Amino acid sequence: MKELSFFGNYKVKIVFTKEIFPLLKEKNQREKICITDENLYRIYGDRLEEIFGKNIFRISPGEKSKNMGVVLKILEFLCEKRVSRRGKIFGFGGGVVGDITGFVSGIYKRGIEFSLIPTSLISFVDSSIGGKCGINLKNCGKNYVGLFNHPSEIFFDFSLLSTLPQKEVNNGLFELIKYGFVLEKSILETFEGNLTQSELKKLIKISIQKKISVVIEDEKEMGIRKVLNFGHTFGHALEKVSNYSLYSHGEAVGLGMIYALILGKNLNITDEEYLKRGIYLIKKINGLKLKRKHRWENLLNSMSMDKKVDRENSLLFVLTPTPGNFLFKEINDFTILKKTYGEFLKWI
């Protein structure tokens, strides 16, 4: 077991372990609750019950569980279990479980302690780190209601990734390659070859360190932390217009990164060679495709309602001029965005 502690704006204990269940069993909180999803419970339910007994709340897998109805049911479950402010919630799952766990922990009795055990690649490299917890509002957008709430611990056990179907691995690879475009060009170089398990573990640890360093510098996403939204402006719009049913989050981000690369080219920020190389590397992650030709007006409306929009009639995009580098570009000429969408449809 290896522990890392980070301080400053971000204080959390990072634990790399090969024995997550014995480690959790050692945690002696008198009142400990587990939130997980039905898929994970089918695989790990017996192990979790050894640790948490009947104090396990299961949600349906997928983005549609990130709603106030599910949150209220969990709050009622905590009340029924008479969990006090000394209690602790353990989120065992991917990004959806992590978001809900952090959100509920932040509002139950004005806040109780929680820890995360990420089980998906996307939660390893992105969503478990940084304290952002949100739920979706149907008519507004993704993560529209939320708070910053940091776990006391994050437990990383690479063996939990072994049960992931390839589609879920790919889902995480889209978020992982994001760091290569805007923060660490060596990640792109690794993706150009055949990614081995040992290389993947190395890239995961690089991504964790990169995200933590960004969060330490800008916890509340007022500046540099916005770089982590590369591909997300267009990607979140795709998720919303499809009612969170056609694309996984990773797939939407992958398509969003392609859109951002083409937009960069149209603004003379990204050159043609880098554009082609970037799209090739994104498409190298199997399974990426636009599953429906969405109306541009619907996409633009969704982007305009994104929670990260600071000014009316203006959209902020993260663009990449060269591998491992980024810049922020505020766009108020929506004709260039529509033109980019037309080119995007030809590329994808």
pLDDT tens for the chain, 348 residues: list them: 565 555 455 678 999 999 999 999 887 667 899 999 999 999 999 999 999 999 999 999 999 999 999 999 999 999 999 999 999 999 999 999 999 999 999 999 999 999 999 999 999 999 999 999 999 998 888 899 999 999 999 999 999 999 899 999 999 999 999 999 999 999 999 999 999 999 999 999 999 999 999 999 998 899 999 999 999 999 999 999 999 999 999 999 999 999 999 999 999 999 999 999 999 999 999 878 899 999 999 999 999 987 667 666 789 999 999 999 999 999 998 999 999 999 999 998
> Do 76 and 100 meet the contact criterion of CB atoms below 8 Å apart?
no
DSSP for residue 125: I
Helix (H) or strand (E) holding 34: strand 32-37
What pLDDT does residue 70 have?
Answer: 98
Q: Which part of the chain has CATH 3.40.50.1970?
A: 2-163
Total-model pTM = 0.92
Q: Tokens 């499809």 sit at which residue?
A: 242
Amino acid letter for position 245: S
pLDDT of residue 310: 65
CA distance 186 to 233: 25
Strand partners, 302: none
Residue 324 Ramachandran class (φ > 0 left, ψ -120 to 50 alpha, else beta): left
Residue ranges, CATH 1.20.1090.10, the chain: 170-347
CA distance 266 to 250: 24
Q: How far is CA 9 from CA 27, 102, 218, 262, in A?
A: 26, 17, 8, 35
Cα separation, 315 vs 311, whole angstroms: 8
Q: Which pLDDT score is estimated for 348?
A: 87
DSSP H helices, 156-271, are 166-182, 185-191, 197-217, 232-241, 249-266
**Domain 2-163, CATH:** 3.40.50.1970
Which superfamily does 170-347 belong to?
Dehydroquinate synthase-like - alpha domain (1.20.1090.10)
From residue 151, give the alpha-carbon distance in Å to each of 12, 131, 144, 147, 164.
Answer: 7, 7, 20, 12, 24
Q: Which of 37, 242, 235 is nearest to 123 (CA)?
A: 37
331's tokens: 């766009």
Radius of gyration of the chain (CA): 20
Are 120 and 173 in contact, with CB atoms under 8 Å apart? no
